[in-house]
């Protein structure tokens, strides 16, 4: 539902700052055990259920939307998330503007959290368009229906309406 929670928001922001610090180090030197360990800790924390306590879990809907995509195409989950995340953020902006403003300020030191996220993803070599991952625009509705059917409770905790048409629009906006 997008409600702020200072504890879990702070944990998520710390996880994101760790990712920003350690991922480039790992990409530059795969044998950097300290950077890999910190990246693993950040990843484990990011996927822990407690991180959604007190504020719904809306960001997890992006994962459910992506699962249908990678189930349909040969797309790695992280690559699909990188391509979908900016469009998902723009879709939820009307209900989560304050949260994205905090993201920009507290994680990136910038005003526009969505733009900063896109810039960072591009900076670590992620492709931000579904077409660059081999996905087809004309399959948006079909994959959106698959997301709804394959992920029970997908819209639970999501701020605003998240039905098959909304998901198809996120796919189209990501193309």
What's the pLDDT at 160? 73
95, 106, 18, 107: which is closest to 55 by C-alpha?
95
Tell me, yes or no, if the pTM score tops 0.75. yes
Q: Average pLDDT in the 82-108 region?
A: 93
Task: Give CA–CA dist 166/162, Å, rounded.
Answer: 6
| Confidence label for 63 from pLDDT (cuts 50, 70 and 90) | confident
**DSSP class of residue 75?**
-
Are the CB atoms for 59 and 145 separated by under 8 Å? no
What's the pLDDT at 8? 87
Where in the sequence of the chain do the CATH 1.20.1090.10 domains occur? 57-175
* Residue for token pair 């195409």: 73
What's the pLDDT at 68? 93
Domain 57-175 - what CATH class?
mainly alpha
Residues 145-171: tens digit of each pLDDT: 999 998 877 777 677 778 999 999 999
* Residue for token pair 């992920």: 151
What's the pLDDT at 58? 56
Q: Average pLDDT in the 92-115 region?
A: 93
Residue 112 in this model has a pLDDT that exceeds 60: yes
What's the pLDDT at 99? 87
CB atoms closer than 10 angstroms to residue 103: 22
CB atoms closer than 10 angstroms to residue 150: 12
Residue 142 in this model has a pLDDT that exceeds 90: yes
Task: Give CA–CA dist 50/57, Å, rounded.
Answer: 10
Task: Give CA–CA dist 15/106, Å, rounded.
Answer: 12
The percentage of residues in the chain with a pLDDT greater than 70, rounded to a whole number, is 94
Task: Give CA–CA dist 169/87, Å, rounded.
Answer: 9
**Which are the contacts of 60, defined by CB distance < 8 A and separation ≥ 6?**
52, 157
Task: Give CA–CA dist 117/115, Å, rounded.
Answer: 5
Higher-confidence position of 136 and 59: 136
Residues 25-61: tens digit of each pLDDT: 999 999 999 999 999 999 999 888 777 776 655 557 8
């Amino acid at each position: 539902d997008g409600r702020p929670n200072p504890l879990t928001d702070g944990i998520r922001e710390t996880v994101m700052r760790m990712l920003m610090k350690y991922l480039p180090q790992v990409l530059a030197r795969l044998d950097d055990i300290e950077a890999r360990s910190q990246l693993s800790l950040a990843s484990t924390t990011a996927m822990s259920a407690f991180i959604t306590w007190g504020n719904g879990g809306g960001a997890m809907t992006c994962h459910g939307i992506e699962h249908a995509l990678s189930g349909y195409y040969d797309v790695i989950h992280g690559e699909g998330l990188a391509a979908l995340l900016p469009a998902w953020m723009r879709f939820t902006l009307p209900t989560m503007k304050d949260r994205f403003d905090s993201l920009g300020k507290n994680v990136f030191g910038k005003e526009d959290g969505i733009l900063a996220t896109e810039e960072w993803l591009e900076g670590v070599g992620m492709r931000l368009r579904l077409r660059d991952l081999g996905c087809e625009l004309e399959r948006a509705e079909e994959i959106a229906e698959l997301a709804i059917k394959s992920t029970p409770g997908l819209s639970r905790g999501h701020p605003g309406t998240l039905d098959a048409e909304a998901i198809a629009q996120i796919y189209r906006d990501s193309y």
